[in-house]
Structure formats: structure tokens, C-alpha cells
A and B are shown apart, each in its own frame.
Chain A
Amino acid sequence: MASDTRSLALEAKTASLHQVMEFVQKGALEASLPEARASELDLLIEEIFVNVCRYSYPDSALGMVTVTYWIPAPGELKVEVADQGVEFNPLTAEPADVTLDLKHRPIGGLGIVLVQQLAASLAYRREEGWNRLTFGVSARS
């Protein structure tokens, strides 16, 4: 049976990153995720949250982000990151070419690669001006 949801609303600034990580790690504990998955969770939330901070609200001083988690089953954690910034779907974004040598590599673009590869599940929807990205972390993956 799914647990209750827990939500945190905060300003989209990189300085809030550790606050967001502490928040979702409570979910990791409640879901009894092993340490390896808990570390991957930190990485996933960082990549997604920092991406929102950097790109979602280009014309505003600051926007808001809501991070929500729930436990659909023991050993499973789902996290949704929602923002009202520019539309962006990481599932359809072109990932960086990881076969390029150093000279030809761009400096950025690796966050999406990590999210696409590490999340057990990934879903996006654009709804009434909100980007809603949901990812799952599983003890079994």
C-alpha cells in the first residue's frame, strides 16, 4: 500500500541543494533503500534540482520548486520534482555523446545522461504550466 506523500517547496537556487538531499534521504530511510541506492538518489535529485535552478526560470530572479516523495511499496521510492519554469522534458532531451574524445567533448550535458541511466523509472508531464518529472529508485535495480 502506498505511503502518504511528503512535499517540500523551496526556491530554485543551488544553495538549497543540501536541504533537498536531506529531505529525499528521509524517503530513502522510510523505503529502506540500501546505501548504494541512497547515493544514487542524491545524484538523481541533484541533477534534476540543479537543472531546474540553472535553466527553468531564465527571466526571473527566483522561481519555486516542489519536491514530493512517496513509497509505493517497500524498497521503492518515487520522487517528483515540479516547477513552473520553461517547458523541459529530460526524456526527449538529446543526451551528450559519451563516445567523444576529450578534445571534441562539450563541457556540459552529462547530467541528463546520468538521470536517464540511473533512474529505475522516469516519467514527465507538462500540466497547466508545470513541469512534473517523476523518477523512481528501487532496492531491486
Chain B
Amino acid sequence: MTIERRCVSDQTVLVLSGRMDAENAPQFEQECNDRIADGLTSLVVDAGELVYVSSMGLRCFVAVAKTLQSKGGELRICSLQGLVNQVFEITGLKRSFPVYESLESALISGQK
């Protein structure tokens, strides 16, 4: 899995590509925690190129989202597709996080 960090409209976007499984999920959580340590309180995750996620990956999403929520911010996710979308549906996480069809709509939502 690759994680690309971008700054778009003054918001931090992490673009995930590939597969997130038990072996590399901690890498994603570490990246998020590093950004939070830098002062970030909200984050957009672009999952458009993410083709696989297991429960270990979901744990990281939930943990990061809870941390951001505790700081008054949020984790927004966009562009879920295929198996990843199915996994988020089955586990109810599409109702637990703000989920958007596109990066644009996720970014608009973050503009206050």
C-alpha cells in the first residue's frame, strides 16, 4: 500500500493505493498519528485506489477517527469502491464516519 499526503484547499488528504492488511495497517495509523502530533485535527482519506482492507485496517480507521473526534475534528473518507466499499457497508462503518462519493464533496464539507 502506498500513502500519498497532499494538501488541497488547506486540508490534509491521504491518498491510499493498493491493499491495507494486517501487515501494513500500522503504517497508516502511524502516518495519521504523526500528522495529529503535528497539530492536525481533521483529515480526508481518499480510498479511490484502495482495493482491499481487512479488519486490522478498519481498526486503524476507527482508532484514528476516535482520536480526531476527541480533538473536535473528524476523519472523512471518500471514493470507497469495490470490496472496500462492501467491507465498510457490512461493518456499518459507512454510517459511523462521514463518507463521500468524491474527494470534491469531502473537501467542500470540510470548508467552514
Chains A and B come from one and the same complex:
yes
How many residues of chain B are within 8 Å of chain A by beta carbon?
25
Residue pair A102, B66 in contact (C-beta under 8 Å): yes
Cα(A43)–Cα(B58), bound, Å: 12
Residue pair B22, A14 in contact (C-beta under 8 Å): yes
Residue pair B55, A110 in contact (C-beta under 8 Å): yes
A-B residue pairs in contact (CB < 8 Å), sample of 28: A14-B22, A15-B23, A17-B21, A17-B22, A39-B52, A43-B54, A43-B83, A46-B22, A47-B55, A50-B54, A50-B55, A50-B56, A96-B91, A98-B90, A98-B93, A99-B95, A101-B96, A102-B65, A103-B66, A105-B62, A107-B59, A107-B62, A107-B63, A110-B58, A110-B59, A114-B55, A114-B91, A118-B90
Interface string of B18-45 (1 = CB under 8 A from A): 0001110000000000000000000000
Residue pair A113, B91 in contact (C-beta under 8 Å): yes
Taking Cβ atoms with an 8 Å cutoff, the residues of B that contact A are 21-23, 51-52, 54-56, 58-59, 62-63, 65-66, 69, 82-83, 87, 90-93, 95-97
Interface class of chain A by DSSP: helix
Residue pair A107, B66 in contact (C-beta under 8 Å): yes
Residue pair A46, B83 in contact (C-beta under 8 Å): no
How many residues of chain A are within 8 Å of chain B by beta carbon?
28
Assuming A101-B96, A103-B66, A114-B55, is B90 touching A50 (CB within 8 A)?
Answer: no
Cα(A18)–Cα(B96), bound, Å: 30
- By a CB distance below 8 angstroms, the chain B residues around A100 are 92, 96
Residue pair B55, A102 in contact (C-beta under 8 Å): no
Cα(A50)–Cα(B96), bound, Å: 25
Please give me the residue from chain B that is nearest to A21 by CB atom. B21
